[in-house]
Structure 1
């Protein structure tokens, strides 16, 4: 198969891959922050906080991400005006990118919340009692005792969520965001080659997710070294 078109268009795939990873990293950071807050709200003894968190998680997990992206774009595209930025050969319209990242982050937060809540629940209850016996309050117990142990429990699932986000970032192509998928569409339109640019995009998505999964495995092994789970 002839892939000579890459000599002319490789920069589009490279720039699109960079933008895809940038979107994914920003989204997982904000999604994790939202998820931790929601997980703590759902574990709270305050009924309204628990209800808000449960409702939020149910809504964002129960509706398609594409619908959420389109709604966020409709609500914020005309409200937030940001200057475009050029990355490589592609220009990013931040006025469109902002609602896209917001929707991805809010959706991810709903899934991360359940991941974090499960990780916290997996920590032995004796750890809470031991922290209280040492005079630690709730926030101190979470920060110094529970979260470090919960992180070991949730890292594989959190890694899977990051990998899913790398692939789901392609949905932002519906907003005209020039990430990897949209870059492949540009190449198809410019070169009149229908499938090969998509093959290249698929290989790049696989490369990004594979490398990410391997790096997360190394981190997981490092965290688990010398660690004995208390039951």
Structure 2
């Protein structure tokens, strides 16, 4: 009875929360949002341009941060103390300082290393954004990779070495596929955070989604109408990335019938084509 009561209380609380939030959203959409401004081709076009720019920055930064993060994670487990300490220092710096600080250093500080007029980039905002996001999130991906490798039993490496594999080959063919599976959820979560971190790029003059919102709000004195566009566009990116991560997790689910291991196990010597024992 107590279990049933707790479940009913939870359902009541969750339902009440949904009704309250839903009612608030309906009230905002019906009383605070200007439908004519919301559907304006000019407003929609400006937000769409910013959306495409954010998608391009996210794609490039995601690929670079994951790639760099793999090497940072491998550096963390390196048998070389120099490599390990450098990787640890990199992670501690970029996780220990705000992303906004890092963007300021790259956007404002780096050009000052050149003499006036000699900096090679005329439009430095977007490259600085990509560099800042890549360096920051590579540190988090590196820690996720390191945690994924640590979660692989030591016997996996020992078994691979006993078969004559070198340490590099054992890492590449035995340990890293399992580590990637262990770290995939954390990496996917970090890449979704990367999408939301693009909202900080407005402070370095990148014409992204929040920058468009600020301009429209300043001109129209109407915050709620452009905020609807901001919400829809960010959700479009983050929900799409969540679907990609979920798909990758299903493909790497080695223990299920639909996963990689499940498909391979059908062809093992101890099983038949129909999945039964021989």
The answer, yes or no, to whether TM exceeds 0.5 is yes
**Are 2:63 and 1:29 equivalent residues in the alignment?**
yes
**Are 2:34 and 1:2 equivalent residues in the alignment?**
yes
Task: Give the match's secondary structure for 2:252.
Answer: helix
Distance 1:226 1:41, change over 3 A: closer
Task: Give the match's secondary structure for 2:35.
Answer: coil
Task: Map 1:125-136 to 2 at 5 A.
Answer: 125-136=154-165
Gaps of 5+ in 1: 84-92
Task: Map 1:90-169 to 2 at 5 A.
Answer: 93=123, 95-169=124-198
Q: State the Cα distance separating 1:47 from its structure 2 match.
A: 1.4
Separation in 2, partners of 1:50, 1:143: 19
Matched-pair contact (CA < 8 Å) for 1:35–1:113? yes
Q: State the Cα distance separating 1:74 from its structure 2 match.
A: 1.8
Separation in 1, partners of 2:128, 2:109: 8
The aligned residue for residue 275 of structure 2 is none
Separation in 2, partners of 1:139, 1:15: 45
**Are 2:81 and 1:54 equivalent residues in the alignment?**
no
Separation in 2, partners of 1:184, 1:138: 52
Q: State the Cα distance separating 1:97 from its structure 2 match.
A: 1.3
Task: Give the match's secondary structure for 2:164.
Answer: coil
Separation in 2, partners of 1:52, 1:215: 32
Give CA deviations for 1:53-88 in whole Å, capped at 9, x if unaligned: 1111111111111011001112334655346xxxxx
Matched-pair contact (CA < 8 Å) for 1:30–1:105? yes
Aligned length: 218
Q: Tell me the TM-score normalized by structure 1.
A: 0.86
Q: State the Cα distance separating 1:213 from its structure 2 match.
A: 0.8
Gaps of 5+ in 2: 1-32, 254-258, 263-278
Task: Give the match's secondary structure for 2:61.
Answer: helix
Q: Aligned Cα RMSD in Å?
A: 1.9
Separation in 2, partners of 1:4, 1:138: 64
**Are 2:103 and 1:74 equivalent residues in the alignment?**
no
Matched-pair contact (CA < 8 Å) for 1:184–1:198? yes
